[in-house]
Amino acid sequence: MAKPSRFDDESTPLAQRIAVGLSKVGLSLKFQAWQAAGARGLSPTQGQVLALLLTSRTGLRPSTLAERLAVTPPTVTDTVKALVAKGLVERRADASDARVSLVVLTAKGRAEAKASASWPDFLSSAVEVMAPPEQEAFFRGLVKMISTLQREGQIPVSAMCVTCTHFRPNVHKDPLLPHHCAYLDAPMGARHLRLECDEHDEAAEPARSEQFAAFTG
């Protein structure tokens, strides 16, 4: 237990200071996104769509893009239309449902997406100041925060390990590889957790809540 200090009474709660710090990071991300997208002749939403498509090998449905980016379907429709006109994406029939189209990067779009996705490098450089154990602990905390905000409906749901039916939290004794991915049938650590995964299969309740409880516990 931490030794008491006068600062315990003088300081605002640590959770509030962390929230303020994250809001400052959020402002810097927003500023950089506008600058980077504008320099490449894209709107911020167009840049976000390209970056998101880069994480998928098969393409994404417009409805999925809307959910992941927390924007309206008409916004995605207009954004995709603009990207098609620029030759950066194309629409293809979904093999699982011919009535639905997938938005897929073209070769030109993949190159542009990689360039668009590189703008947060300034933030990666700041993260690299932390030692590997600090990075892993920080990332694990972020996963907890993001998962909690998703469960509360505050942010759009992403294809995270901790919400996947293939995820088995804390089933191994190895403290460095405590979790298990049933899809790959391999142990994994906090450093291996994904925020977006093509093989994600969302677990249904109450299994999802039980998984999260086991992960955080």
| Span 38-53, pLDDT tens digits | 557 788 788 889 988 9
Question: What ranges do the domains of the chain cover?
Answer: 17-117, 130-216
Q: From CA 152, how far away is CA 157, in angstroms rounded?
A: 10
Tell me the per-residue pLDDT of 71-129, one tens digit each, with 9 for 90 and over: 899 999 999 999 999 999 999 988 887 788 899 999 999 988 887 666 566 777 888 88
Cα–Cα separations (whole angstroms), residue 97 to 41, 46, 134: 34, 25, 44
> Given this model, what pLDDT does residue 31 score?
64
| Higher-confidence position of 12 and 103 | 103
* Residue recorded with tokens 């954004």: 79
The model's pTM? 0.60
- Per-residue tokens: 204: 């249904």
Tell me if the domain spanning 17-117 has CATH number 1.10.3720.10: no
